[in-house]
């Protein structure tokens, strides 16, 4: 992977960045995504943000080697600290846990006033991001699920709007867990992911059945049983 050819995961993220957007890529690592978008997708300006010195230095070197230092500003800082209010209209955050991505957005909320689109790729816990959208008036406008190198990734795209619009009232818990768009347009990767999750939960459930019945184990077992029911219902929806 380099600034000319992205991974399948980052290529999918890139296609949701609007042309001519002023982009901030948070946790940019080698700055491959902003470099690719500036070179190939009409992005006039980008910020590549990194909190760790090693990746920050790598991003600086790569941007310089690509001759893009006048269009990509590589900055070291925590989350949205690297951008100024009003400077950016699209933010990408890829390759982190969903809870961490949600906390980055929450901690930098004041920087989001002029941002028009969020393109987020959590490695786990996409539900954390969907809940954050719901609580902060960001409307989930599309989702994608893909598999690369044996790992499953979800991409969530949101814009300011009616945060409740994608969800059906009587199915909100299920759709927050699994994704309203992904449930309605189930592909084989989606089914494989949730069948695998269900198998893991069944194993944990059996272990809990053999454990002492403390309030914690009883609560955990109920939580797992509830999730198993949601997945079963979701997969039946597609079949019917």
Q: Quick: pLDDT tens for 35-70.
A: 999 999 989 999 999 999 999 999 999 999 999 999
Is pLDDT above 60 for 239? no
Residue 2 pLDDT > 80: no
Please name the residues in contact with 132: beta carbons below 8 A apart, sequence gap of 6 or more.
102, 105, 106, 138
Tell me the pLDDT of the chain averaged across its residues.
95
The stretch 194-221 carries a mean pLDDT of 91
Q: What is the percentage of the chain residues whose pLDDT exceeds 90? A: 90
User: What average pLDDT does range 156-176 have in this prediction?
Assistant: 96
71-120 confidence digits (pLDDT tens)? 999 999 999 999 999 999 999 999 999 999 999 999 999 999 999 999 99
Q: Which of 7, 13, 4 is CA-nearest to residue 121?
A: 13
Say what the pTM is. Answer: 0.94
d(CA 62, CA 12): 21
- pLDDT, residue 97, reads 97
């Amino acid at each position: 992977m380099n600034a000319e050819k992205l991974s399948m995961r980052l290529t999918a993220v890139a296609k949701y960045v609007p042309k001519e957007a002023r982009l901030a890529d948070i946790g940019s690592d080698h700055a491959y995504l902003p470099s690719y978008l500036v070179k190939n997708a009409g992005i006039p300006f980008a910020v590549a943000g990194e909190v760790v010195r090693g990746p920050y230095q790598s991003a600086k070197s790569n941007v310089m080697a690509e001759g893009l230092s006048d269009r990509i500003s590589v900055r070291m800082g925590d989350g949205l600290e690297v951008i100024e209010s009003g400077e950016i209209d699209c933010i990408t955050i890829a390759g982190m846990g969903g809870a961490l991505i949600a906390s980055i957005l929450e901690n930098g909320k004041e920087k989001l006033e002029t941002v028009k689109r969020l393109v987020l790729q959590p490695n786990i816990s996409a539900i954390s991001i969907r809940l954050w959208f719901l609580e902060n008036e960001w409307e989930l406008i599309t989702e994608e699920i893909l598999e690369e190198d044996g790992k499953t990734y979800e991409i969530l795209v949101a814009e300011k709007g009616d945060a409740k619009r994608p969800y059906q009232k009587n199915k909100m818990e299920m759709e927050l867990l699994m994704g309203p768009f992904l449930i309605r347009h189930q592909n084989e990767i989606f089914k494989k992911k949730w069948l695998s999750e269900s198998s893991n939960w069944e194993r944990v459930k059996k272990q809990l059945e053999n454990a002492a019945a403390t309030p914690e184990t009883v609560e955990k077992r109920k939580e797992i049983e509830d999730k198993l029911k949601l997945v079963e219902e979701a997969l039946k929806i597609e079949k019917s």
